[in-house]
Amino acid sequence: MPAEDIGRMGGVPPEVIEFLSGKGGRSMIVKGGAGTGKTTFGLELLERAGKPGQSYYLSTRVGDEALYRQFPWLKATEMRARVLDAGKLFLDTVRAAGPPAASDLPESEQKKIAAAREVMRSFSDERGAPTRVDRTHLAALLRRNPMPEVENIYSRIERTLPEKSLLVIDSLEGVTHKYGLEMEEFVMTLQKDLVEGSNTNVVMVLEKPEAGGIEYLVDGLLSFLREELDERRVRHLRLEKLRATAIGRPRYAVTLAGGRFEALGVRPTTPASAVGSAAAWTPQPDPERFYSTGIPDFDQLLGGGYRRGSFNAFEIDVNVGIDDYYMLFQPTFLNFLSQGRGMIAILAAGESHDKLRESITRSSPPHLFDTRVRIADYTASETEESYIVPMARFGRDEAMRAMVSAEKAARGPEQKPILEYTAFDTLESLMGDQAAIRMYFHGVQRAKLVGNLGIGLLKPGLLMSSEILNMMDTYFRIINIDNAPCVYGIRPRTRIYAISLDPELGAPHARLTPIV
């Protein structure tokens, strides 16, 4: 797919864009229950996959003014021209001369012509792009009942030929019920006349979750569904069929925030640790009584940021990767260090001090990390790195003295507050749950007095989780929904937010997108 198309697609899955960008016309049915996001998707697709003057949205459910009230972004002149109210199209067709009349040839002759067109379709590359819209199957329907808005659409598409048009019909039931048609025969008409005969992409929206056996008529099938996750609403888009298109991800979590459709994870979400270079970090200011998270969206969610002297728990789901949750934590680490404050860390199983240093020093001076960060490594007995505290060689008393020395180095000469990043799976495996709880309890009491910031990681199956959560000021869960890392608050209660890199600033800047 060309780079310019990728840039235009926004939050529409790339598989759908690639499918509609293929040679010739393509047909697609979009199905799902009420409130799952079908209309919003259709309008977003019109903007992302269509072109001005070559894309049309035929609404049979609500008038265009109602659409503009629900989706204010459609009021732009360029988008208004694409939204076609079925009622207004009816009047336009009555006033105008209208499209060419249906053929008067005998039915047997029309069948011969249709059969010939089917044969010639296999040689489409040789015969060139069409210059007239095929009306063979429409003509048969018009003998039973006039359909002014459909005739009008055919004429509009014909005026754009040989360029490919995009037509979104919302909904199929709206047209077929109005004219007493069988859904199968109407879909077949659009497929034969517009898709196969006239090089048109046609997207048809169903008002129900099942297609009723017409899936075989079309080239693509998408379905929307909605579920409750921990009493929070989540919508999904499932790519069931996209003919001649590889489906890299069969399912996407989606959001309708701001009246726009976005499939989560479409924009690049490569973590900062995998990016070749990153811009120098510019500190986010700390509001009074708070430490900024380094993510404006997260600061707003928390009412300013992490409270000074607070301890904040993050329960990490089993299918969430380190790179995923580092997108949320790395801006906080950078914001702390860039303001001359240090950090002490006990890393989780699977985390690497080398990887942490590498990701941080892409956006801050290496000496800042080496002098103000201390990582307690309970598996190391020796080290050449100043930022590693080799705890394996110490007895209990020596270990205490080593940690006091490490904290002093992290605080620096100004003795500023520090960030304490603690993975409780490491503590529990080393000390047992009860000893780890007692140690952390005393650490929390002491740290609150000096205004430190605590971030604690909880993994599934920890015995100490309930006791630790009782000490925490906030409690968040980080989960994976359809390959998109997400976070939501238990204390305070929040909706679910998708975590991704900021599309404008890039790594390591992150954003939170509400899932609504």
Instruction: Quickly list DSSP for 270-329.
Output: --GGGSS--PPPPPPPPPTTEE--S-HHHHHHTTSSEETT-EEEEEEPTT--HHHHHHHH
Place of tokens 């939170």: 512
Tell me, yes or no, whether 179 and 290 share the same domain.
no
Residues 276 and 246 in one domain: no
Judge if 404 and 434 occupy the same domain: yes
Give, as one character, the DSSP assignment of residue 348. P
CATH of residue 457's domain is 3.40.50.300
Two tokens, residue 397: 């008393």
122 band by pLDDT with thresholds 50, 70 and 90: very low
Nearest-angstrom CA–CA distance, 492 and 475? 7
| Residue-level pLDDT at 222 | 97
Q: What is the DSSP letter of 503?
A: T
Tell me, yes or no, whether 172 and 301 share the same domain. no
Domain that holds residue 412: 272-514
Asked if residue 280 and residue 255 are part of one domain, the reply reads no
Last residue of a domain, one of 235, 263, 291: 263
Token reading at 465: 């989780």
Residue 455: pLDDT band (50, 70, 90) is: very high
Binning pLDDT at 50, 70 and 90, where does residue 103 land? Answer: very low
Say whether both 306 and 411 belong to one domain: yes
Lowest mean pLDDT among 88-102, 142-156, 474-488: 88-102
Query: Do residues 305 and 227 share a domain?
Result: no
Looking at the structure of the chain, the number of domains it has is: 2
Based on the domain organization, do 163 and 310 belong to the same domain?
no
Examine the domain organization and report whether 233 and 364 are in the same domain: no
List all residues 6 or more positions away from 353 whose beta carbon is below 8 Å from its beta carbon. 345, 347, 375, 377, 385, 387, 388
Average pLDDT, the chain: 84
| pLDDT of res. 97 | 40
Which of 237, 263, 289 is the last residue before a domain boundary? 263
Q: Do 257 and 294 reside in the same domain of the chain?
A: no
Residues 235 and 286 in one domain: no
Predicted TM-score (pTM) of the model is 0.82
pLDDT at 9 over 60: no
The domain boundary residue, chosen from 218, 234, 263: 263
CA 59 to each of CA 73, 90, 182, 339: distance values in angstroms, whole numbers, following the listed order: 17, 12, 19, 54
Question: Under a CB-based contact definition with an 8 Å cutoff, are residues 295 and 285 in contact?
Answer: no
What stretches of 391-469 adopt beta strand conformation (E)? 419-423, 453-458
157 and 239 in one domain?
A: yes
